[in-house]
Amino acid sequence: MAAKKPAPQANVSKEELLGYYRDMLLIRRFEEKAGQLYGMGLIGGFCHLYIGQEAVVVGLEATAKEGDKRITSYRDHGHMLACGMEANGVMAELTGREGGYSKGKGGSMHMFSKEKHFYGGHGIVAAQVPLGAGLAFADKYNGTDNVTFTYFGDGAANQGQVYETYNMAQLWDLPVVFVIENNQYAMGTSVARSTKSPSLFERGKAYGIAGEEVDGMSVLAVKEAGERAVAHCRAGKGPYILEVKTYRYRGHSMSDPAKYRTREEVQKMREERDPIEGIRSMLLTGNHATEEDLKAIDKEIKDVVNASAEFAKESPEPALEELWTDIYA
């Protein structure tokens, strides 16, 4: 985990820090609850948790403005919560209920929100990369200055369609921020075991795309780099790549025994680099908040998450007629 420069701290207001704390905590608690509901059999199939990576989406959402778009892979719960989608609707989709964002027909991997400009939720590794460039194509076509955040992992970064997309995105100056969430493991295969060119953002140079590596365990570092990327895109200079070095604490999916790394490795990351603990200690040492203030936030988040679990359990299963709807517009 190479943090190239120390996290910037100047000019960050107390409110901003508290906001990041709250947003990251919401994702963490939500995911823990999702893991629990999975264990109870209320969530089925695949369920990919985002725990450990919270600073990535929260830092980048801090740079977004109305009309900006986002698209990601199947590890998508954090992205949805960060862009303002309701915990209730996300959790109810996980349980496959009518109150879910896709009426229960999408599941953990396939959720969308037209209102929040969240375009999924894609289950084919790297498919979201050209799709995201296509969203950016639409913004350029329509003459807006909006950008699209296109998230993908270190595993997807080896797919051919990523490079087809890089080529066209740069050729056509598309306003797309490619966010490589490098959590170091493509399911069970470490970056070192899948490529001899481990600096993933540098691959963009072959196409003339600017990019940089970012400490993904620091929400402030992510935000700072995100602002550079977004400014580049909004100015019509084409795409930008952020390789965000992050870490997932949980397995690839719920059924991953994670034998490809040691318990110590995970534990060390949690203890030394946790993004939420980082902000928490910044808040406390900077006298921005007291233990009691943070406890109150913890309680507030716990209530939101518990309420979403209740909603997700109580929301009815979709009506059988739903089997036949939404196939054609």
Interface residues with other proteins (CB under 8 A)? 32-33, 35-36, 38-41, 44-46, 69, 71, 100-106, 110-114, 119-124, 127, 129-139, 141, 160-161, 164-165, 167-168, 171, 249, 254-255, 257-259, 263, 270, 320, 323-329
To the nearest whole angstrom, how small is the minimum distance from the Cβ of residue 169 to other proteins? 8
Alpha carbons 54 and 268: distance in angstroms, whole number = 17
Q: 301 near 22, Cβ under 8 Å?
A: yes
To the nearest whole angstrom, how small is the minimum distance from the Cβ of residue 3 to other proteins? 23
Q: 237 near 49, Cβ under 8 Å?
A: no
- In the complex with other proteins, which residue's Cβ is closer, 9 or 36? 36
Q: Is 127 exposed, middle or buried (0-12, 13-18, 19+ CB in 10 A)?
A: middle
To the nearest whole angstrom, how small is the minimum distance from the Cβ of residue 110 to other proteins? 4
To the nearest whole angstrom, how small is the minimum distance from the Cβ of residue 144 to other proteins? 10
Closest CA to 75 of 169, 166, 191, 155: 155
Alpha carbons 78 and 28: distance in angstroms, whole number = 8
- In the complex with other proteins, which residue's Cβ is closer, 216 or 251? 251
- In the complex with other proteins, which residue's Cβ is closer, 303 or 326? 326
- In the complex with other proteins, which residue's Cβ is closer, 106 or 275? 106
To the nearest whole angstrom, how small is the minimum distance from the Cβ of residue 111 to other proteins? 8
To the nearest whole angstrom, how small is the minimum distance from the Cβ of residue 263 to other proteins? 8
Q: Return the H-helix or E-strand segment holding 103.
A: none
Place of tokens 């719960």: 77
Alpha carbons 180 and 190: distance in angstroms, whole number = 15
- Give first-to-last CA distance, the chain, whole Å: 46
- In the complex with other proteins, which residue's Cβ is closer, 101 or 311? 101
- In the complex with other proteins, which residue's Cβ is closer, 173 or 227? 173
Q: Hey, what are 52's tokens?
A: 């450990």
- In the complex with other proteins, which residue's Cβ is closer, 106 or 155? 106
Q: Is 304 left (phi over 0), alpha (psi -120 to 50) or beta?
A: alpha
To the nearest whole angstrom, how small is the minimum distance from the Cβ of residue 286 to other proteins? 25
Alpha carbons 301 and 304: distance in angstroms, whole number = 5
